[in-house]
């Protein structure tokens, strides 16, 4: 595991062709690791019939809604937790 | 249609619940059977849904998207011939 609970991480904003589980609305955003789910086969390759190996660590990353949505009008404490695979995360 | 989350819309979100029709239950069971049989996994299901043209995606109901993807995947794998389903309807 490259990242630990409570660590700040940034989601890569690199382009990606094909199936991907990292939602575009968090690309380039900085959040905090809130959960370490374990390692799982990679859906980006499984989506095309491969075995998804090697397994990739998966994290629950929490973002402030106001950081994610420029026009967010809800309470400042609102959060969104997104599951992101390690190969999409960078040190913040 | 990929990465739909966060795309602005002026349409209200339909939050009403409905009883599932038989074809919806069968579609769900079919995906379960294809997964258990090692023929199609959930990532292939999702990728097939994402391959829908945007206007078709937006028009389709939830399980209609699953049906589109099942057909797409089974044609890719040579289990169904293109047009085979239409010919049998």
Q: Where are the domains of chain A?
A: 8-91
Number of domains in chain B: 1
Cα→Cα distances A30→A10, A25, B43, B60, B81, Å: 4, 11, 26, 34, 46
Inter-chain contact A24–B5, Cβ cutoff 8 Å?
yes
Residue B22 lies in a domain: no
Above 90 in pLDDT, residue B1?
Answer: no
The answer to whether B31 and B49 are in contact (CB under 8 A) is no
Residue A14 and residue A89 in contact, taking contact as beta carbons nearer than 8 Å: no
Three-state DSSP class for residue B41: coil
pLDDT at B13: 83
- Nearest of B10, B7, B25, B16 to residue B67 by alpha carbon: B25
Domain membership of residue B83 (yes or no) is yes
Q: Kindly determine whether residue B3 and residue A52, on different chains, have CB atoms separated by under 8 Å.
A: no
Longest dimension (CA), chain B: 41
CATH number of the structural domain spanning residue B70: 1.10.472.20
Determine contact: B28 vs chain A, CB below 8 A: no
Answer whether B44 touches A (CB < 8 Å).
yes
Looking only at the bridges linking them, the beta strands covering A79-85 and A56-64 are antiparallel
For residues A47 and B44, the answer to whether their CB atoms sit within 8 Å is yes
Tally of CB atoms within 10 A around A44:
21
Say if A49 is an interface residue toward chain B (CB within 8 Å).
yes
Q: Residue A63 and residue A60: Cα distance in Å, rounded?
A: 10
φ/ψ of A8, rounded to 5, equals: -80, 135
Average pLDDT over residues B43-48: 98
Domain contains B68 = yes
* B21: in domain: no
State how far the Cα of A39 lies from the Cα of A85, in Å rounded to an integer.
9
Is B9 near chain A, with CB under 8 Å? Answer: no
Pick the CATH number of A8-91 from 1.10.287.3510, 2.30.30.50, 3.60.40.10, 3.40.50.1700: 2.30.30.50
Global confidence as pTM: 0.91
| Distance of alpha carbon A89 from alpha carbon A87, whole angstroms | 6
Position B2 pLDDT exceeds 90: no
* 3 state DSSP class of B74: helix
Supply the mean pLDDT for chain A: 96
Residue B23 forms contact with A (CB below 8 Å): no
Instruction: Flag whether B17 is in a domain.
Output: no
In a domain, B23, yes or no: no
Residue among A22, A40, A43 with most chain B CBs within 10 A, to mutate: A43
Domain extent for B75: 32-88
pLDDT at B70 over 90: yes
Q: What is the ipTM of this complex?
A: 0.89
């Amino acid at each position: 595991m490259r990242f630990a609970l409570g660590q700040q991480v940034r989601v890569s904003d690199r382009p990606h062709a094909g199936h991907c589980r990292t939602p575009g609305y968090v690309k380039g955003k900085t959040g905090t690791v809130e959960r370490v789910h374990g390692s799982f086969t990679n859906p980006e390759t499984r989506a095309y019939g491969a075995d998804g190996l090697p397994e990739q660590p998966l994290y629950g990353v929490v973002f402030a809604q106001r950081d994610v949505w420029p026009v967010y009008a809800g309470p400042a404490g609102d959060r969104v937790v997104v599951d992101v695979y390690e190969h999409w995360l960078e040190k913040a | 249609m990929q990465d739909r989350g966060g795309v602005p819309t002026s349409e209200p979100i339909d939050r009403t619940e409905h009883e599932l029709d038989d074809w919806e239950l069968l579609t769900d069971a079919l995906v379960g059977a294809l997964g258990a049989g090692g023929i199609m996994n959930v990532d292939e299901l999702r990728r097939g849904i994402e391959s829908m043209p945007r206007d078709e995606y937006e028009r389709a109901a939830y399980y209609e998207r699953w049906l589109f993807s099942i057909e797409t995947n089974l044609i890719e794998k040579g289990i169904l011939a293109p047009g085979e389903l239409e010919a049998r309807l």
